[in-house]
A and B are shown apart, each in its own frame.
Chain A
Amino acid sequence: MDGDIAVKVDRLSKTFKLPHEKQTSIKNALISRFRGGSRSYEKQEVLKDISFDIKKGEFFGIVGRNGSGKSTLLKLLAGIYTPTSGSIQVNGKLTPFIELGVGFNPELTGRENVFLNGALLGFNRAEMTMMYADIVAFAELEKFMDQRLKNYSSGMQVRLAFSIAIRANTDILILDEVLAVGDEAFQQKCYDYFKKLKRDGKTVVLVTHDMGSVRNFCTRALLLDSGKIMESGVPEKVANEYSLRNFMQPAGKADTGRDMAAPWIKIRPISKPVLTPDQKLICKVNYYVPEATDVSFGISVIDGATDGKTSIIDDGFMLSQESAKVTSRTAGEHTHEYTLNLTGFNSRNLTVTATLFKKQGANFVPCAYTDDASSLRFLVRRPLSDNGLLKLKGTWKNVREPGRAK
C-alpha cells in the first residue's frame, strides 16, 4: 500500500443473512433443520463491490440516504463487522465514533464514566488522571462529576462524551452523525473540532446527512445509494448529486398508468437537472385530449422551501379566465417548449407543475395536472448563494435625516 494512503477499500461487499423468523432458540433451529435442512433466510446485499481510497490528511465525506449502506460501510471500516468479500486496509491507528458515549453506564458517576470511556479509547488511569481536569472543564460539568450519570440531562451526557472523545489520540477518525445531537453551541464546538482536525492534518471520515458540513469541511466525498458508489470526488458535486437524488423522484414513475381515454399532461426536461443562474431551464410540456375541444394550460414554478403551493412564477396560457388563450382545439397530443431564464435565482430546489384546462361553457376548468411524481424537478446552484429566493440587487444611498441631524 502506498505510504500516503490511509484507508484502501478494495471490492468490498457485505451481505447480511436475515432469518425470516429470528431463531434464538435451539428448538426452532432443530425443527427447521429437520424440515428443510437449511434455515430459511433472506440475503440482503448491503454493499456491492465497493472500491475507494482515502489519502492521509483527507477529510472524507460519506453521504447517502437512510438504508444506502453507509452505516454498514462505517462499521466495516471500524472493524466491527467483517467483510463478506473484498478487503479493507488501514494504514495507522483508527478510532471510530459510531455514537457518542458508548459504554456510558447510568449507574456510575460522571467521574467513573470518564475513566471507563477513556479506557475504551485506550487510555489508562494515569493518562486519564492527567487529562481529567481538562475534560471536565471543556464539558462545563465541574459541579456534577460526582453525580450518577442517570441524573444528567441528555445534553450534559453528550457534552461529557464529546469532551472525552476529542482526546482520542489517533491517525484516522471515523465520525458518524455526531452533529445530529446537541444544541447550536455544541454544534459550534463540533465545527471548531473539525477545523482543528483539518489543521492537524488528521484523516477524517465523516458520515453525514448535512450537506453544509460536506461543503465546508470535506476535501473529497462519496455518495452511496443502494450499496453502490453513485458519485465520488469533489464535495460540491457529491452534495449536489445527493440533493438531486433526494429531491427527484425515481425515474420512470411518471410514465406509468397513462389512460388514453382521459386527458393528460406531462412535463419533460430538456436542460440538465442542475443549472447555474446563467443557464436556462428548458422543458417540454406535452398534453393529450381524447376529443376535439378548446384547451389551454399553465405551469407553476414552486420553491422547495415553501409549502409546495405558493409559486414563484406562473406562466403559460391560462393565468386567469379573462386572459386565457386557447392552445389547441383538436384531439390528440400537443407539445410546447418552454425556456426560462434563471438570472437572479439563488440556490433553490424547484418543482415545475403543469395544469391542463378544458373549456366548459364560458370558463376554463382544470382537467389534468402533473402530480407529485410527474412534476419536473431541478436545482439552481449559485456559488456564494445567500438564503433569499432571488438574487436581485437594489441600490443603496447614505442619507441624513434632516430633523435629527445635530
Chain B
Amino acid sequence: MRLYRRIFSKQNRALLAELVRTDFKLRYQGSILGYAWTLLRPLLLFVILYIVFVRFLKLGNDIPHFPVYLLLGIVVWNFFTEMTQHSLGSIVGRGDLIRKIRIPRWIIVFSSSISALINLGLNLVVVAVFMVINGVDFYRTVVFVPFLLLEVYLFALGISLYLAALYVKFRDVGYIWEVILQAGFYLTPILYPLARITNVTLQKLILLNPMAQSIQAIRYSAVTHDTVTTQHAFGGGLYAYIPFAIVLAVLFVGFSYFKNQASSFAENI
C-alpha cells in the first residue's frame, strides 16, 4: 500500500494524466478524421485480411463467426504492436524531459502504455458491436477476458520496459523489433485457424507463445468454444502454464533491466 502510494502520488498521477492527454492530442494532429483513425486503421486492415483470407483463400470456414474471431485477434495483436512500438521510442523521444528535469522515468513508458490501453478499449467496443451484429452467443466465460487482457498488457509492459531502455543505447533495436513483430504476426494464429496446423508438436509449440495463448483464450471465452487453446492442446497439464511463466519472466527481466539502466538515461540519450 505504501509502495502504491509512492508510485501513484498526487504528482505522479497529475503528470501521468497530462502526458497521456498530450499524447492523445498530438497523435492525430493535422489529420481530418483525427481520432477516428484509431478505429479505422484496424477496421480497414480487417477488411483487407477478410477479403484475402476468408473470401479468396477460404480459411476458417469451419469456425463459427470467423470474421469476429479474426477481428478480435487483430485488435489484440494491434494493441500489443502499438504499445511495444510506442514505448520503445518513448524514453528517447522524451529525452528533452529526461535531461532537464527529475521525473520518474517509468512514467514515460507507462503513459505510452496507457494511451495504447485506451485505444484497445475503443477497438473492443467496435468488436462488441460486430459481435452483436454477427449474432455471437453470449458465453459466461467472457468474464475471463479482462484477466487475459491483463496478461497481454503485462507481457507487453515487460517487453516495452526492456526495449525502451535498450533503445537508449542501441537504435538498431527499433528495426529488429519491427521484424520480430512481423514474424510474430504469422507465428501467432491470428489469420489462420490453429486447426489448420496438423503437426501436433508444432501446434503445441505455437501455443506456448503468450500472445498465441492469450488470443486463443480470449476467442474461446468471448466468441466461440470451437477454439484450440493452450489448455486443450496440453490436456490441462502443467505445461499449459508455461505462457504465464514466460509473461512473469519477461516482466521481471524488463522491469529489472529498466530499473538498472534508468539512472544513466540522462547521460546516454
Contact = CB atoms under 8 A, between A and B. Distances in A.
Contact of A26 (B15, B100, B172): B172
Contacts of B11: 122, 124
Interface string A1-36: 000000000000000100000001111010000000
Interface stretch (B41-49, B140-148, B196-204, B261-269): B261-269
A163 to B, nearest CB: 18
B169 A24 contact: yes
Contacts of B169: 24
Interface string B19-61: 1011001100100000000000000000000000000000000
Interface residues of A, number: 30
A123 B97 CA distance: 16
A29 B10 contact: no
Interface in A250-272: none
B172 A25 contact: yes
Interface residues of B, number: 31
Contacts of B26: 105, 107-108
Interface stretch (A51-59, A96-104, A177-185, A381-389): A96-104
B101 A96 contact: yes
B18 interface: yes
A80 B266 contact: yes
A75 interface: yes
Contact of A125 (B14, B22, B264): B14
B137 interface: no
A80 B171 contact: no
A115 B18 contact: yes
Contacts of A24: 169-172
A115 B98 CA distance: 19
A105 B22 contact: yes
A393 to B, nearest CB: 51
- Residue among B13, B25, B100 with most chain A CB within 10 A: B100
Contact of B102 (A26, A78, A115, A123): A78
A123 B267 CA distance: 27
- Residue among A115, A118, A120, A123 with most chain B CB within 10 A: A120
Contacts of B101: 78, 80, 96, 98, 102-103, 120
Contact of B100 (A80, A82, A108, A119): A80
Contact of B17 (A25, A78, A98, A125): A125
B96 A103 contact: yes
Nearest to B99: A80
B125 interface: no
Interface in A169-199: none
A78 B97 CA distance: 13
B268 to A, nearest CB: 9
B264 A120 contact: no
A167 to B, nearest CB: 14
Given A81-B266, A82-B263, A120 B17 contact: no
B187 interface: no
A366 interface: no
A149 to B, nearest CB: 12
Contact of B170 (A29, A81, A118): A29
A231 interface: no
- Residue among A75, A103, A122 with most chain B CB within 10 A: A103
B103 interface: yes
Interface string A207-225: 0000000000000000000
Contacts of A241: none
B18 A116 contact: yes
A332 interface: no
B172 A120 contact: no
A123 B11 CA distance: 6
B10 A124 contact: yes
Contacts of B264: 82
B263 A119 contact: no
B250 to A, nearest CB: 20
B13 A112 contact: no
Interface in A268-316: none
Contacts of B170: 24-26, 29
A299 to B, nearest CB: 50
B51 to A, nearest CB: 37
A96 B22 contact: no
A75 B171 contact: no
A159 to B, nearest CB: 19
Nearest to B98: A80
B14 A116 contact: no
Nearest to B266: A80
A79 interface: yes
B103 A120 contact: yes
B100 A99 contact: yes
- Residue among A75, A82, A119 with most chain B CB within 10 A: A119
Interface of A: 16, 24-27, 29, 75, 78-82, 96, 98-99, 102-103, 105, 107-108, 112, 115-116, 118-120, 122-125
Task: Give 9 closest A-B pairs by Cβ, nearest first.
Answer: A119-B18, A124-B14, A122-B11, A82-B263, A79-B102, A98-B100, A102-B100, A26-B172, A119-B15
Given A26-B176, A98-B100, A122-B11, 7 more contacts: A78-B101, A78-B102, A98-B99, A99-B100, A102-B100, A102-B101, A108-B26
16 contacts: A24-B170, A25-B170, A26-B176, A27-B172, A75-B266, A78-B101, A80-B98, A107-B25, A107-B29, A108-B25, A112-B25, A116-B19, A116-B21, A119-B15, A119-B18, A125-B14
